[in-house]
Structure 1
């Protein structure tokens, strides 16, 4: 649904309130749910962690939704986001979401899609150092992302840059992100 001048109304200098839209707001959350979630909304019976970073949600109807969680970061470049969206388009029917801890989640409707998505995520590495861009994990008893302040990017009195400290800490406990020990 494209936004246009006609949809939102054209300004009439003779009548300032004519066609006035004061609060457009975000689009309704429902349209961002994958079909398996829409079809089973309010009918989820239970969920299980199949392996680190992979959950299955089972509906009263027997339908299953699989969530693949991978590590993210607070600040992402446009290229990084485009890469994420390409993965979502090709392996998760265009759906992805972000958790409150800056993790990335893809929701799919079959175990075959889970395996294909995990294989694809494992292929994406950073050019410098070769570390994984999208490590799968962060569920159960495993370590999840550390939420931090914005540091120098936002705070004028920051003593340190929180992002660099969090990166250093998570590098040290990475194996606990990808496992559940």
Structure 2
């Protein structure tokens, strides 16, 4: 991509360290020297050391980012990268300076780890920081979980990698692609402001609803069928007279068994095992308790390198609920028979 006159994305080679550019396409293997420290080995014999740290969910202050940039200038030649799971990696660190770098980033409050069989960086959408559709505060839950599980991020004591994804509403499918997913749920249909709805374009509202839940009412009003509404929020973005969310009813569900990689049994969508938990900030005790409950059962019973989904496939759902002591609900485990096929047909996945 050409950067003309400072507009657009800069060329890739300007953002890659000389060592990585010199070995582009030649990286052969890697070793995890200790939690968060990776040694990558090229076919040419060159070695690149990276140090991975956890990042705050969905946002980071300019001051903190500038401090991390200063450390990158001092320890990795000014180069770093943000991983797909939003972790921060210092690239091409002098192996003799790794201990000093780790000491400084941990003094800033950023733990080092998230590699191999550990808790990887927790992913969360911005929720109310950015969006008008959330049913829960996903960055707040991610922060509470990160604090509670920080030791699992810093060591390699889990059976396999553990990925936790959090979405504030059902529009973000990423939550169903983690070993444990948390999805915000609205439990009541959108609220229609009857005195203001006439200002909105009724044909647009009817057309924009993906499930045809919106029908005309009278000359200018509308009615929403609660049996068809999926709380996608499309109508709220087309009309300010429709509101979504109820502080007294909103909460979140917990899913397990999602996976985005092709390893093992391949990619799959998670299944709901806890249909509803209430919003309870600031420490989100119910979410933390549920995740630890599931994680501990998996840790005690899983084979080495067995992801959450493979463990469930081996023991079956009946034993999963018994081992995790989760009460079974009629709303648990969706019956979409083609869920796996759907997940594997996504453009990001291959067979």
What TM-score, normalized to structure 1? 0.79
User: Counterparts of 1:158 and 1:119 in 2: how far apart (Å)?
Assistant: 37
Tell me the alpha carbon deviations over residues 21-72 of structure 1, each in whole angstroms, 9 at most, x when there is no partner.
xx94200111111111111111112101110000100111211000100001
User: Counterparts of 1:146 and 1:109 in 2: how far apart (Å)?
Assistant: 24
User: Counterparts of 2:74 and 2:118 in 1: how far apart (Å)?
Assistant: 28
Aligned to 1:175: 151
For 2:21, which of 18, 34, 38 is the aligned residue? 38
- Secondary structure class of the residue paired with 1:159: coil
* Alignment check: 8 A CA contact 2:54 2:121 kept: yes
Aligned to 2:44: 61
Query: Mapping of 1:10-159 within 5 angstroms?
Result: 24-73=7-56, 74-124=58-108, 132=109, 134-159=110-135
- Secondary structure class of the residue paired with 2:86: coil
User: Counterparts of 1:158 and 1:90 in 2: how far apart (Å)?
Assistant: 40
User: Counterparts of 1:55 and 1:49 in 2: how far apart (Å)?
Assistant: 5
User: Counterparts of 1:154 and 1:113 in 2: how far apart (Å)?
Assistant: 39
1:109: Cα distance to partner?
4.8
- CA 1:26 to 1:45, structure 2 compared with 1: closer, same or farther past 3 Å? same
Q: Which has the larger radius of gyration?
A: 2
User: Counterparts of 2:106 and 2:62 in 1: how far apart (Å)?
Assistant: 20
- Aligned residue pair count: 154
More contact order relative to length (CA 8 Å, sep ≥ 6): 1
What TM-score, normalized to structure 2? 0.42
Aligned to 2:348: none
User: Counterparts of 1:27 and 1:115 in 2: how far apart (Å)?
Assistant: 32
- CA 1:172 to 1:30, structure 2 compared with 1: closer, same or farther past 3 Å? same
RMSD over aligned Cα atoms: 1.9
| Consecutive unaligned residues in structure 2, runs of 5 or more | 158-351
* Alignment check: 8 A CA contact 1:52 1:136 kept: yes
